[in-house]
Amino acid sequence: MTDSSVLDLAPVVPVVVVEDVADAVPLARALVAGGLRAIEVTLRTPAALDAIRAVADEVPDAVVGAGTVISPQNVADSVAAGARFLVSPGWTDTLLAAMKESGVPFLPGVSTTSEVVALLERGVSEMKFFPAEAAGGVPYLKSLAGPLPQARFCPTGGVSLGSAPSYLALKNVGCVGGSWMLPADAVAAKDWARIETLAREAAGLK
């Protein structure tokens, strides 16, 4: 990755849950063809690490990362599988140290002002805001921009095609994470053309 910031790769980062590793490569190719290069594969399924490995090996235009990273072991396994960025739903000092030592960009998760201040104190200014909608959404992030202008966010959790532009309009938001371009029925039907179309729509958001 030429840019060390996950936030500047694309306006939308697809948050992918891979149940069947055979779906990983065609799904990633559809997302990339639609203009979404940064792909977060969550570590929520047994297939996740193999999916990251497959995308890293077979889809060179994709920038594949690991999501739901919650332990140093997750960090090590993800990087070994080829993850080029890491995303966590929250953070501890132990997890943060492992992500810093990984050598790849990372977005630790926050949902409160105190967590943001604590990360800034530790030299981290780019973070995931999660769960975005449940934690206060656009008004919350807008209110953080005044006292904490140095913090930049990727809101994830309940973000939709309809709400994404409101987030992206905020000066402290670099990108959003979401899964609306990956409807379960399309994935189940292996309708990669539909996913590419939805990805292209998402990639066009500003």
97-143 pLDDT, tens digit per residue, is: 999 999 999 999 999 999 999 999 999 999 999 999 999 999 999 99
Catalytic residue among 19, 40, 115, 121: 40
Q: Using 50, 70 and 90 to split pLDDT, how confident is the model at 9? A: confident
19 has catalytic annotation: no
Catalytic residue among 19, 121, 128, 206: 128
Q: Using 50, 70 and 90 to split pLDDT, how confident is the model at 31? A: very high
- Given a cut of 70, is residue 2 above it in pLDDT? no
pTM surpassing 0.75?
Answer: yes
133 has catalytic annotation: no
DSSP the chain: --SS-GGGS-SEEEEE--SSGGGHHHHHHHHHHTT--EEEEETTSTTHHHHHHHHHHH-TT-EEEEES--SHHHHHHHHHHT-S-EE-SS--HHHHHHHHHTSS-EE-EE-SHHHHHHHHHTT--EEEETTTTTTTHHHHHHHHTTT-TT-EEEEBSS--TTTHHHHHTSTTB--EEE-TTS-HHHHHTT-HHHHHHHHHHHHT--
- Given a cut of 60, is residue 3 above it in pLDDT? no
